[in-house]
Structure 1
Amino acid sequence: MSVFSSALFAILLFHQGLAYLLEPNCKGHVELVYKVQGGNNALGYHTPFMVSLYDKTRKFIAGGSLIHKRFVLTAGHVLSEDPKFVRLGEKDRTCENWNCSIVQEYLVEKALRHPRNKLIFENDIGLLRLNAHVEYNKDIQPICIIVDDAVNFKNVEKLRAFGWGRTSSTEKLSDMLKTILLKREDPSVCELSVGASPTEQQFCASDADGHGDTCPGDSGGPLVADFTYEGRKSYTQIGIVSYGSQSCNASSIYTDVASHQAWIAEMVHTHEEHLLFENCSSHWTGNIAVRLWETTILKRTVAGTLITDEFVVTVASALQTNFTDIKVKGRYFEIEVAQIIKHPEFSHSRGSIKNNIALLKLKNKVEMSDLVKPVCLAVNSFPSQTFTALLEAYNRTISIGLKRIPFTPTKDCSRTIGMPVESNQFCVEQPRDYKYERPGSVMGTYKEVKDVMRYLLTGIISHVINGMLVFTNVETYEDWIRKNIM
């Protein structure tokens, strides 16, 4: 299967109109009835999908909805306020984390705005990619997003909105999560009250009881409804709070989620964690760990690592020229190099070595087998916290075991080697009981990718000084690698 195949396959399913939920573990059925008598607080509602957004000063910005273990859906105009972290499981914003055990905080790693959200409310939709996978529990669960082009929500007339916005045009933002029941309106209703007609990617709605509306501060929050899909009734997101009148007592315009389902699916599957090359492995039959991806170049003085069936990653410092008359040798193959691609900002001097990474494109693809596989490299992954090497023993017999090697703090490493450790490098002490010093040799880590435990490439040895192994952190070159192998 080719690079990015998992993402393209998922999007292909969508375009074929097949049944598809963005997140199969999304929130189940919830009755759309008031649970708090005489008020519109949302405390009685089970809202595990609600997300509150904050800026770097911890000022509340807007609302959002959890739609995937790594993504929050919100309004595009909200991204202009630069959200830095989100809180999940929150209903009372005055409740601090230490006193609200169900609340979880996550940093915003990346904001994705719809490319046609140039006018402030046109295609008013955005996604926030979080810095870690959300751990689902009874208080934190995603809402259902249906990405099936055969589904139409236009007959869904009653919708419920949730948010921490102002309860009137003059009041401050609410500390408590509020809710209101809305009804879908004819576009002409918004033309009269808002002074604008919804586009094909929007719809008009107003308070079903005629007493209120969504208000500033509710932006980005979800409009939801019970919806039966594939025989299952679930709480499904239909819209996103976009904009309306300042009076907060008329109709408002909402982003239509169904009109943007292709964009949502594409962004999630492009920016979620997946493998660079699907047919990768470090295990023989019986789950025995071994270096199936290991190659050598330049008379076995430098190690190279298969990352696809036609690309090898190694160190740029070993390739003094762009002369390609070299061969990559594996245990079961030998292939000539077609192209050397050094990192454009590679530099090597007595005082520092920077961006020490290169790609070798092979003249022919390597034939995959149980004995030859590329190493797994995760795309859009989280930074590794532990390191596990597959090492070769001093007696030169193949070591099938593993050795965990602790990370050495950058300051200590820099002091030991007498030169700077760059931000895209990391250090470990050279193990005494294993032969492990050849430039380009791999350090990896075990991590789950899409619920499967994988051995993932983390770094390659850049240089060895005073018993310290300095690695090029391959994870930080993900974008450069993808750009050059496409």
Structure 2
Amino acid sequence: MRRPITRALTGALALASAAALAPLASPAPAAADSVIIGGAPVRSADTPWVVALSSRDRFGGIRAGQFCGGVVVAPTKVLTAAHCLGREVLGTAVSEVRDLRVIAGREDLRAPGGQEVPVQHVLIAPAYDPRTSSSDLAVLTLASALPVGHVIKTAARGDAANTPGTAAAVYGWGDTTGAGTYASALRAAPVQVQPDTVCARAYPGTALGGRYTPATMLCAGDAKGGHDACQGDSGGPLVAQGRLIGIVSWGSGCGRADSPGVYTRVSEVLPTVADKL
């Protein structure tokens, strides 16, 4: 088993990739170790709750500084993965990133339009453990409110949307092939919620990889392979039955039948920070 990786790129890798691709017409890679594999383009007008996290200072300007995804759960609140805001991704403390923003209402990162809203405050879930990726969740407070129509409902404990076999979709601007082919336009891939036993078998916890923990993690993927999140999709939403059920967190490879995606289980982890929403 290959070592599980988070789905966010580091600042150094993103800038190096951007420099390498600058003379070309194709877009530069994003900054996250996750990507939408086997997906299709979607319109931001149909998915206004999907946002991009951006820092041009850390990740360059070719793709508007995108390095992770996020999801709007209140007019001034965005959820993302806690690991997106760590030193390993940003290359510095998040408090030192002066131009941290969310980009809303813009499906093509190279195009104008939409809104770029500064992040005013960052809250990491109190139980987040960067060694195990448990409770991989952060809440961003925006400097100004987005329209109420941008907000998506979140799944509560016991929600049927978390049931194995439920059809879901994962959204992001990440790698679309697993080989560094990053999208500039928002994409979505169809997946299914998988039984916890599937991810427990894929990620038992070894010297080479992490352990799947059902209490804070959700398993989703394609039993036949070919559909998944990938580099650049970290922090993005997993949605089922019109509700947010997961946040892209980590996995092994992209689109592999034997290695489903691991998501932060929103119904269990969000209540630990609900008083901040």
TM over 0.5: yes
Match of 1:89 in 2: 105
Q: Which residues of structure 2 form unaligned runs of 5+?
A: 1-37, 204-208
How far off is 1:191 after superposition?
A: 4.0
Confirm whether residue 114 of structure 1 aligns to residue 122 of structure 2. Answer: no
Whether the 8 Å CA contact 2:169–2:238 is kept in 1: the answer is: yes
Q: 1:439 corresponds to which residue?
A: none
In the alignment, structure 1 residue 259 sits paired with structure 2 residue 268: yes
Q: Distance in 1 between matches of 2:223 and 2:74?
A: 30
Q: Identity of counterpart residues, as a percentage?
A: 29
The residue type equivalent to 1:154 in the other structure is N
Deviation at 1:171, TM superposition (A): 2.0
2:137 is matched with which residue: 101, 112, 125?
Answer: 125
Change (3 A) 1:154 1:50: closer
1:236 alignment partner in structure 2: 243
| Corresponding residue number in structure 1 for 2:10 | none
Read off the aligned partner of 2:135 and give its amino acid letter: N
2:104 maps to a residue whose letter is L
Q: How does 1:99-178 map to 2 (within 5 A)?
A: 100=113, 103-120=114-131, 121-136=133-148, 141-147=150-156, 149=157, 151=159, 153-155=161-163, 157-178=166-187
CA–CA separation in structure 1 for the residues paired with 2:175 and 2:46:
21
| Higher radius of gyration, 1 or 2 | 1
Over 3 Å counting, the alpha-carbon distance change for 1:163 and 1:39 in structure 2 is closer
Q: Aligned to 1:61, what secondary structure does the other structure show? A: strand
| Pairing 1:219–2:237 present | no
> In 2, Cα distance between the equivalents of 1:209 and 1:39?
15
State the partner residue of 1:43. Answer: 43
Q: Deviations over 1:44-88 (max 9, x none)?
A: 871010110012525211000011111101111111133611111
CA deviation map 1:222-261 (0-9, x unaligned): 11111xxxxxxxx210111100112443411111110023
Aligned 8 A contact 2:119 2:140 in 1: yes
After the TM superposition, which segments of 4 or more aligned residues of structure 1 sit over 2 Å from their partners?
Answer: 149-156, 186-199, 207-210, 246-250
What one-letter code is carried by the residue in structure 1 that aligns with 2:253? Q
Aligned to 2:29: none
Q: Helix, strand or coil: the match of 1:52?
A: strand
Distance 1:45 1:225, change over 3 A: farther
Residue matched to 2:218: 203
Which of 191, 196, 202 is the aligned partner of 1:187? Answer: 196
8 Å CA contact 1:198–1:253 kept in 2: the answer is no
Which amino acid is the alignment partner of residue 155 of structure 1? T
**Residue deviations 1:320-349, cap 9 Å, x none?**
xxxxxxxxxxxxxxxxxxxxxxxxxxxxxx
Q: Hey, which of these two has a bigger chunk of helix by percent?
A: 2
Cα deviation for residue 41 of structure 1 reads: 1.5
Inter-partner Cα distance in structure 1 for 2:271 and 2:39 = 38
